[in-house]
């Protein structure tokens, strides 16, 4: 992946090099910084289907949202508010999906996990308009086999 920053991680007492695209956000040519503060950054990655969608990520490497400290939560909220104002002004969405995926089973993917909040503007003319995040995972076909 172009523009990825390598970071050191300790595993069983030895240092290994692992790449994290979000830690190296400033080197990623595919993403644009929309807003940032001291602790977080709001990135836009052009997507032909999810028009205007963006991500808020902590600058410090945190695997999931559950690792954010109070200051990072405040910094995230500041960028959520700025992103919403920007998206309302530039895209005029009819609604939003906002959420975190945590762990691979929860939809967070990659060789190295880095917490990121999805802000997805939604539009009334979308084929799936009116369907929220839960509409996909609460379907009968998603029932656990043991239940």
> Model-level pTM?
0.82
Q: Is the pLDDT of residue 88 over 70?
A: yes
For 46, the token pair is 């052009």
50, 54, 57, 63 alpha-carbon torsion, rounded to 10°: 0
Q: Right CATH number for 30-139 from 2.40.100.10, 1.10.10.60, 3.30.428.10, 3.40.50.10580?
A: 3.30.428.10
Query: Model confidence over 4-21: pLDDT tens digits?
Result: 334 444 444 443 335 677
CA angle centred on 87, ends 85 and 4, rounded to 5°: 110
What are the residue boundaries of the structural domains of the chain, listed by start?
Answer: 30-139
Spatial contact of 45 and 52, defined as CB atoms under 8 Å apart: no
User: pLDDT for 26-58, tens place per residue?
Assistant: 777 788 999 999 999 999 988 889 999 999 999
How far does CA 98 lie from the centroid of its chain? 9
């Amino acid at each position: 992946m172009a523009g990825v920053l390598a970071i050191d991680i300790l595993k069983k007492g030895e240092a290994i090099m692992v790449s994290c695209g979000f830690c190296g956000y400033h080197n990623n040519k595919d993403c644009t910084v929309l807003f940032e503060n001291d602790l977080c950054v709001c990135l836009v990655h052009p997507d032909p289907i999810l028009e205007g969608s963006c991500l808020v990520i902590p600058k410090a490497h945190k695997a999931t949202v559950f690792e954010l400290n109070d200051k990072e939560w405040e910094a995230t909220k500041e960028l959520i508010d700025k992103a919403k104002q920007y998206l309302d002004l530039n895209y005029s969405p009819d609604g939003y999906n906002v959420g975190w995926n945590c762990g691979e089973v929860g939809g967070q993917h990659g060789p190295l996990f880095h917490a990121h909040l999805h802000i997805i503007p939604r539009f009334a003319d979308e084929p799936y308009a009116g369907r929220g995040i839960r509409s996909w995972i609460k379907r009968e076909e998603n029932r656990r086999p043991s239940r």
